[in-house]
Structure 1
Amino acid sequence: MAAKTKPSPPLTAEMPVAAAIRAILRHNLEAMLAHQELARDGADIEGVHQMRVALRRMRSALSLFRAVLDRAQALAWREQMRELAGQLGRARDLDVFIDEGLADTAGKLPLSGEAALRELALARRAQVYASEVRPMLESDSYRHFCAEFPRWIEQGIEVTEPKPNPEIGSETGSQTGFGTGVETGPHRARGKGARKLARPILASARKLLDKQERRVLDAGTAVNRHDAPAMHQLRIECKKLRYAAEFFRPLFTDMGEFIRCMKGIQDLLGVMNDLALTQGLLDDLLSNTPEDRDLQRFAGALIGWRSYHFHRLLEDFDNRWEALVAARRPWWD
């Protein structure tokens, strides 16, 4: 499943780190909100997809900048976003299964059962949108997130100079977001933390990209291609590097070329993930039709088809990995 290049937040090289964090979070929050009605309607699968991507990107940004953020607040927001994205997960899995898995084999397998399986999947998709997606969008948790997280973006990352009186804590105190469990009052970074937040983003971006690149290299160098957990971890680290590269794309020339190079390995790892999900989806869809032999045979053939496609791609893993390793790092210039 090919990944699409996302628009980048409006960063400039001289922008302070604190302002850059706010710009990145604000940019992706706006993307999430822009797709919530599409997700609610369900007619366009990009609604749920783009909401989940935006939530993952915001979680990744909080993780990327964790050294300069209030640890407890950032962790609480990341956990809340993980839960929200998780509630959209089954809908997204079914969307991919129908739009890509079934579409890929349409009319290609000489077996009956294709139409019946598609009907089952569409019915389950409608059920999941009604029982999981729309209730999530109407939940107190989501409404409170939409109210409190923007406030935290604007007020929760604040730079101040150290105060001479150590007895003075937070001058304004913390305000707890209603129903969120997340403290949304200002986090006033002091001393070393304040200096880091006040520095221009360019040098920090280089260090953060280097750090995440090392994580990718550690996960992928000499990886056992048949070790599913290891390949899954590589997929996660590649995704984090991709997000970081997109966050900082405006700061470096030709970052787009590096991102395009990453797609080669990400496409392969994405197919691997889709294949793992397909087996579970089929088990769920066919759990109430054990006697339908046509459906069972077609499902088995579908798994075989997708497995063959993945293993053909896997033969090119070394080439794709070497291309990524050799790709020019624009942030090194």
Structure 2
Amino acid sequence: MDSEGVHQMRVGLRRLRAAISLFADVLPRAQTARIKAELKWLTGELAPAREIDVFVNESVRPIADRGVPKRGARALRDRFSAERNAAFSRAGEAVGSARYRRLLIDVLEWIETLRQRPDDDPGIPAYAAQVLGRRIDKARKQGKRLGELAPDQRHKLRIRIKKIRYGIDFFGSLYRERDQNQLADLSSRLKRIQSALGSLNDFMAHRELATDAALNAPPANRRAQAFASGFIVGQEREAARGLMQDAAKELHRLHRLRIAPGK
């Protein structure tokens, strides 16, 4: 399985899992819980391939042109290229497994046999307005404390932002033509927040990978690899300041839609 295949599958999984979350109030709980668990399993099998691939392409390869000794840059590249290959093999094994085939059949059956829970039905326009409004309020409230959030809390905020953006995609056709520009503006703001928080999350993962590489490097390459790893961590720590400022600014401007779905 290659990088593009993993990327496309991850995008599909994110959108499906976001849809399940957005419609959680009306989906049958027992069936949905089983599907969610299997989708989470598949996401976990694909995640290392994406994480290491991004680290190699965006953090390791570029340092060779930024004054880092070639020996250290090459040692890091060789180490993580091997780990990336192993991660892609793991992803391929998951997609080729009987468990994955059962998941495809179960998801199709789940979609085709879905029945809404017998609760009061407010109608899809009212439901869309309620879901988006509630989620924007929560994201904005949490965003006010962005500088105080731990990395795992920032990660959860990024996921919350991503689900709102997907929700706008899902519900966009419910809004009038004249209101589409407002939807697009909100979606763009959410995308900027998601991108900044995503990069911050990547930096934390890269720090762990680089630190582990420095601590567990073979004696022959230990100093060179530690220097290259430290360079990556320092470079990304500097970039993180600007990303935090960008995310905080956009979160401050985040508000509920002033338009309502419906013709």
Q: Is this a same-fold pair by TM over 0.5?
A: yes
Q: Distance in 2 between matches of 1:241 and 1:82?
A: 19
Whether the aligned pair in 1 keeps the contact of 2:162 and 2:190 (CA below 8 Å) is no
Could you give the per-residue CA deviations for residues 77-126 of structure 1, whole angstroms, max 9, x where no partner exists? 11110011001111010111122223554512343322331222212111
2:144–2:248 Cα contact (<8 Å) kept? no
Query: Which residue is 2:236 aligned to?
Result: 306
CA pair 242-106 structure 1, distance change in 2 beyond 3 A? farther
Residue 266 of structure 1, aligned match among 176, 189, 194: 194
Contact 2:10/2:46 (8 A) holds in 1: yes
| 1:56 alignment counterpart | 14
Distance 1:158 1:317, change over 3 A: closer
Q: CA deviation at 1:285?
A: 4.3
In the aligned structure 2, how far is the partner of 1:328 from the partner of 1:109?
48
Q: How far is the alpha carbon of 1:206 from its aligned partner?
A: 1.2
Among candidates 267, 292, 296, match of residue 226 of structure 2: 296
What's the CA shift for 1:290? 3.8
CA RMSD of aligned residues (A): 2.4
Give the distance between the partners of 1:104 and 1:73, measured in 2 at CA: 46
Specify which of 180, 201, 204 is matched with residue 276 of structure 1. Answer: 204
**Structure 2 SS opposite 1:158:** coil
Shift of 1:243: 1.8
Q: Secondary structure at the match of 1:88?
A: helix
1:1-333 aligned at under 5 Å gives the runs 40=1, 42=2, 45-112=3-70, 113-130=72-89, 132-155=90-113, 157-158=114-115, 189-190=117-118, 192=119, 196=121, 200-225=123-148, 227-252=150-175, 253-254=180-181, 255-285=183-213, 288-291=216-219, 292=221, 293-325=223-255, 329-331=258-260
In structure 2, runs of 5+ residues without a counterpart are none
SS in 2 for 1:68: coil
Q: Could you say which residue in structure 2 is the equivalent of 1:11? A: none
Q: CA deviation at 1:57?
A: 2.0
1:134 to partner: Cα distance: 1.3
Cα 1:310–1:223 shift into 2, 3 Å = closer
Q: Percent of aligned positions with the same letter in both sequences?
A: 30
Contact 1:111 1:298 in 2 (8 A): yes
Q: CA 1:283–1:265 in 2, change beyond 3 Å: closer, same or farther?
A: same
Report how many residues are paired.
Answer: 254
- 1: distance between equivalents of 2:248 and 2:159? 18
Contact 1:258 1:330 in 2 (8 A): no
Give the gaps of 5 or more residues in structure 1: 1-39, 160-188
Q: Is the 8 A contact 2:196 2:244 kept in 1?
A: yes
CA contact under 8 A between 1:224 and 1:231: conserved in structure 2?
no
Separation in 2, partners of 1:282, 1:71: 41
Larger radius of gyration: 1
Partner Cα distance (1:209, 1:226) in 2:
23
Contact 1:258 1:329 in 2 (8 A): no
Higher helix share: 2
- SS at the partner of 2:198? helix
Greater Cα offset, 272-281 or 234-243: 234-243
2-side partners of 1:250 and 1:138: how far apart?
A: 36
Query: CA contact under 8 A between 1:224 and 1:230: conserved in structure 2?
Result: no
**Larger mean Cα displacement after TM superposition, 245-254 or 73-82:** 245-254
Secondary structure, aligned partner of 2:147: coil
